[in-house]
Structures are given as structure tokens and as C-alpha cells.
Amino acid sequence: MATILLEVATPDKGEVFSKEINMLITRSICGELGILPKHARLLTELLPHAMRIKADGGETQLFVSGGFMEVTPDKITILADAAENPDDIDVERAKAAYNRAEERLAKKDSEIDIDRAEAALARAKARLLVKGVHMG
């Protein structure tokens, strides 16, 4: 089966993933994308979500909190702000972040950076979704 190299790097943890895979299913700002080997060159921005990685007949998940993805025929490079294995996600922390972001948005204070709060909310939501926790 044909493979494509997937590399995920973050600013503070370096290269967190580097492996030949069969298929990557990911969510960009334009919607879901499935990337197979020999894909056309592509540059896009990712949303916070759990990517699905198919390799060696199995499927694993990797959470990315937004970033950029470059695809060339033999390599996928993902520059993520943060990337975690689902097992490493701290549910309590994500819940706290979720509540904090909601509080901020609810206040509608002009001093609060709405974009940042919304991004934080989206990240927390995506993390919780991976763990199967649904917030109101």
C-alpha cells in the first residue's frame, strides 16, 4: 500500500509526529479533507480538531489546535500551535478553559479580545470532543 510521510511540528515541542502513513483525514477551514499519497500540492489552514491517521491497517488520532498544513505528493507537513495524543488531553484543564472562555465571551467587555476568546473556546471544545465530553 502506498504511503505518504506525515510530519507534525509545534513551536515548543519540536517534531511530535513523523511517520509514513496511508491516509490522513483532517479538517481545514474549508471543510473535511482526506489526504492520500500523491496528493496535489496544497496549502491550507487547519481548525482545532482531532486528525485521523490511518497507518498499518489501524487508525489513530492526533489532536491539533489549529495551524497550517502543506501537502506535497510525498509529504504532509503540519505546523500546529499544539498537538497532543488523545490520551494526553487533560479533561479538567480543557473544561476549565472552556468555562473561562465562555465567561469572557458572555461579559462582552470591549477590553476582551473576542477573537482570542472564541479561538480558546473552539480549542477547548475540540479537546473535549475527542474525549467524548459534551458541554452545554
Q: Is 77 in the site for other proteins (CB under 8 A)?
A: yes
Shortest distance in whole angstroms from residue 21 CB to other proteins: 17
Tell me the window of 67-75, 88-96, 97-105, 124-132 that interacts with other proteins (CB under 8 A): 67-75
> For the chain, what's the residue count?
136
Using CA atoms, how far residue 91 sits from 53, 54, 111, 125, 126, in Å, is 22, 25, 29, 10, 11
* C-alpha cell, 131: 474525549
Q: What is the residue whose three cell numbers read 500523491?
A: 38
Whether the Cβ atoms of residue 33 and residue 26 lie closer than 8 Å to each other: yes
Helix (H) or strand (E) holding 106: helix 91-107
Q: Of 13 and 107, which has the nearer Cβ to other proteins?
A: 13
Q: Is 74 in the site for other proteins (CB under 8 A)?
A: no
Convert residues 3-42 into a mask of x (bound to other proteins by CB under 8 A) and - (unbound): ----x-xxxxxxx------------xxx---------xxx
Which residue among 6, 79, 101, 121 contacts other proteins (CB under 8 A)?
A: 79
Shortest distance in whole angstroms from residue 76 CB to other proteins: 11
Which residues of the shown chain bind other proteins in the complex (CB under 8 A)? 7, 9-15, 28-30, 40-45, 68, 70, 72, 77, 79
